Amino acid sequence: MAINTNKKRVLVIQPLHPAGMEMLKARDDIEIIECDSLDENVIAEAAKDVHAMTVRGATITRKIMSQAPDLMVVSRHGVGYDAVDLNTLNERNIPLCIAIHSNMISVAEQAMALLLGLAKDIFYYDEVTRTDDWGPRFPTRAVDLDGKNLLIIGFGRIGRQVAKRALGFDLKVFGYDPYVDDAILKAANVEPVSDFRKVLRDMDAVAIHCMKTEETTNMFSEAEFKDMKPDAFIVNCARGGIIDEHALYQALISGEIKGAGLDVLLDEPSAADHPLFSLKNVLLSPHIAGVTVESTQRMATQTVDNVLRVFDGNIDPECVVNQSVLSSSG
């Protein structure tokens, strides 16, 4: 039986930054239900008769959404949405919104940090500095990025921010994205590439910023690494599984490429004995590229803003993943 109230009920799954919660609390037409659990059954119970859900790390299933017959929107705290049952949302004509503007700067900065860390061999030199023998400073290991070729895979919001920063380091930037018009890349001073495999032999670094799909799964595997330069770096701040991790390990130990910077892995968290963890030419971060003090606040406020816009009939189409529901509801 539906709850008899004129208020819109918003289920907040896992805590939001206070700035986002204040936006909800400022509305007298909203009732907040909080659920700090990732258990499907617990979330399903909390989801009864809600009109909106804000989602961080939880998996949102058909079972959960079935508890909310009047559900109007699911709003993701971030940009990834592979843990949300999009088919169910499409069947019910419910928009899935993402916080598209929240973490693009943060991820782009992390990608550049990983690339710089690899180029300058930061962690090797840090270890040397902490000893009483600085002899291992030589022979020289660090390289400059100035004038080098960088290939960006995926030229969406994050890819464009990476290009902007890379150009600031005087890298020559190339871009591959079959879903973005060449004119957009050229306007950003990026050279469009129609077939990324044909230019790998000329690239000093590759930065991956595309979605993980059937098309991009294992996009970089044995053949691609064999085509890369032996002094090339690869950085992935997108999704685990776009790089074939076994092939990457083999490429790194055989010298087919020089180093890798990874914010994402296929299994997260991965076992402590993951082969890549044993390599000194791999820099790692725990899927944290998009999470900074500033981006956490931006994620929360945009996540809530997406909910409020749906309630107020003022949805931002740019934030909607399943665009088909817009035409269906229009």
pLDDT of residue 6: 85
Q: Which residue has the tokens 């590759």?
A: 206
The amino acid occupying position 193 is V
Q: How far is CA 278 from CA 123, 142, 152, 164, 249, in A?
A: 14, 21, 27, 33, 10
Residues listed for the chain: 330
Q: Are 65 and 71 in contact (CB under 8 A)?
A: yes
Mean pLDDT of 19-35: 97
- Return the bridge partners of 30, or none: 8
- Map out the domains of the chain with their CATH numbers: 8-102+293-329 (3.40.50.720), 104-284 (3.40.50.720)
8-state DSSP, 201 = G
Model confidence pLDDT, tens digit, residues 66-81:
999 999 999 999 888 8
Model confidence pLDDT, tens digit, residues 242-257:
999 999 999 999 999 9
Terminal-to-terminal C-alpha distance of the chain: 29
Percent of the chain with pLDDT over 70: 98
8-state DSSP, 243 = B
Mean pLDDT of 131-148: 96
Around Cβ 27, how many Cβ atoms within 10 Å? Answer: 17
- C-alpha to C-alpha distance for 117 and 259, rounded to whole angstroms: 10
Question: Is 287 in the active site?
Answer: yes
What is the pLDDT confidence band of residue 115, given thresholds at 50, 70 and 90?
very high
Taking all residues of the chain, what is their mean pLDDT, rounded to a whole number?
Answer: 95
- Residue 208 above 90 pLDDT? yes
Percent of the chain with pLDDT over 90: 95
pLDDT of residue 5: 64
- C-alpha to C-alpha distance for 152 and 22, rounded to whole angstroms: 38
- C-alpha to C-alpha distance for 268 and 283, rounded to whole angstroms: 16
pLDDT of residue 307: 98
Total H helices, total E strands in the chain:
12, 12
Model confidence pLDDT, tens digit, residues 269-317:
999 999 999 999 999 999 999 999 999 999 999 999 999 999 999 999 9
Shortest CA distance to 142 belongs to which of 108, 160, 168, 116?
116
Query: In angstroms, how far apart are the furthest CA atoms of the chain?
Result: 75
Shortest CA distance to 46 belongs to which of 25, 31, 68?
68
Question: Is 268 in the active site?
Answer: yes
Given the residues 22, 45, 91, 268, the one annotated as active site:
268
8-state DSSP, 262 = E
Given the residues 9, 17, 209, 239, the one annotated as active site:
239
Question: Is 17 in the active site?
Answer: no
Q: Are 133 and 77 in contact (CB under 8 A)?
A: no
Pair of tokens at residue 134: 């600085």
The answer for residues whose C-beta is within 8 angstroms of residue 34's C-beta and 6 or more apart is 11, 12, 15
Around Cβ 157, how many Cβ atoms within 10 Å? Answer: 17
Q: Are 41 and 19 in contact (CB under 8 A)?
A: no
What is the pLDDT confidence band of residue 329, given thresholds at 50, 70 and 90?
low
Mean pLDDT of 96-116: 96
pLDDT of residue 82: 85
Given the residues 56, 92, 287, 309, the one annotated as active site:
287
- Residue 1 above 80 pLDDT? no
Model confidence pLDDT, tens digit, residues 145-201:
999 999 999 999 999 999 999 999 999 999 999 999 999 999 999 999 999 999 999
